[in-house]
Amino acid sequence: MKRLGLLTGGGDAPGLNGIIEAACRVLLHHGYEIIGIQDGFEGVFEDRIKVIKREDIENLHSMAGTFLGTSNRSGTTGREAEFLEKWKMLKLDGVIVAGGDGTFAGLRAFQNDMPLIGVPKTIDNDLSGTEVTFGYDTACSVVADAVDALRATADAHRRVIVIEAMGRTAGWIALGGGMASYADIVLIPERPYSYQKLKSFIQQRQNGGQRGLVVVVAEGAHAEKESANVAFRVEDAPQSERYGGAAYALSRWIEKECAWESRHVVLGHLQRARAPTPTDRFLTLAMGVEAARMAMEGSWGQCTVYRQGQIVRAPIADLMGPPRLVPADHRWVKLLQSLGSFI
Ligand code: F6P
């Protein structure tokens, strides 16, 4: 009987449980023993593992979080030899890893020693090598729902509501969620804004009699000649910066400079906490099944990616490139501009 490992690493993303259920269903059906490694790399270092049975995984796909636990705090840098030794002690024939850039960067050193299958994951949608990641659609739906809901209170009070979306250095969540909800203003890191242009846009809306205004700002967005606000750092984490404060700063600036009462809302981890949307479920079902097939075929060093409307295979190194940012003239940017929104 073959013994396969399953590991989820980095920040959780809606759909991780779908990957687990889909891959395990296929592998258990084919008689594999599946060892769940808990809490990302920490499970390898500390031998935190559990055997996964059929009854563990039923209906997991509809739940947020990850059945295995995860961590975005610990990497492998400086502990490579220890990691490899602990990995060997698990006596696995291979491992399926669902993770983001931090996770795959942490595995770069072991590409020749560990039989690996990769599954790209992040709500930020900024992983290189794939056109979309699961969790992203669900995060966008949280942003869109928030814009829809907050528009009512913005209009009721004649206020500007500034909503902060996650995404680190990429603006995909703010852009996708803001576009789906026809937000008035969308600010993303890839398009540093001009205070002057922003002010005149807001004043135009004000003078035109608009009651309320809804702004979506990515946590990493910033004005020209400024940089994103790092709220704090998580020492030793593969990506140590934690962004925050963009919505607060902007709402104070709007109230002062545009004389329009403003409030801010930080969506934070709600964007990761919702049950996956059907789109994310389709993606994780297809990717989970494909990852299991790859493991059974021994296609080590490969990953599942989404390209041109299909789930295909690619070298795992494709996921290890720099973040995939929003092109400044992306077609979604142009769509928002056509709606009359500021971006
Ligand atoms: O990468 C996913 C993400 O949710 C980012 O959008 C966000 O900046 C970060 O993780 C938050 O990390 P933590 O869960 O450590 O607060």
The counts of H helices and E strands in the chain are 12, 13
**What ligand 1 atom has the least distance to the C-alpha of 219?**
8
Strand order across the 310-315 sheet: 49-51, 33-37, 3-8, 94-99, 116-120, 302-307, 310-315
CA of 269 to the centre of ligand 1 (A): 8
Element (H, E) at 18: helix 16-29
Question: What pTM value is reported for the model?
Answer: 0.97
**Neighbouring C-alpha atoms within 13 Å toward the C-beta of 90:** 34
β-strands 3-8, 94-99 pairing: parallel
Q: Is the CB of 124 under 6 A from ligand 1?
A: yes
Please say if 124 is a catalytic residue.
yes
Q: At 272, is the pLDDT very low, low, confident or very high (cuts 50, 70, 90)?
A: very high
The mean pLDDT value for 160-172 works out to: 98
Biggest CA-to-CA distance, the chain: 72
The mean pLDDT value for 33-39 works out to: 98
Q: Is the CB of 123 under 6 A from ligand 1?
A: yes
Q: Could you say which of 124, 137, 184, 318 is catalytic?
A: 124
Higher pLDDT, 284 or 237: 284
Q: Are 125 and 170 in contact (CB under 8 A)?
A: yes
Q: What does the mean pLDDT of the chain come to?
A: 97
Q: Is the CB of 11 under 6 A from ligand 1?
A: yes
What pLDDT, on a 0 to 100 scale, did the predictor assign at position 60? Answer: 97
Q: At 1, is the pLDDT very low, low, confident or very high (cuts 50, 70, 90)?
A: confident
pLDDT in tens, 203-243: 999 999 999 999 999 999 999 999 999 999 998 888 899 99
pLDDT in tens, 305-339: 999 999 999 999 999 999 999 999 999 999 999 99
Q: At 106, is the pLDDT very low, low, confident or very high (cuts 50, 70, 90)?
A: very high
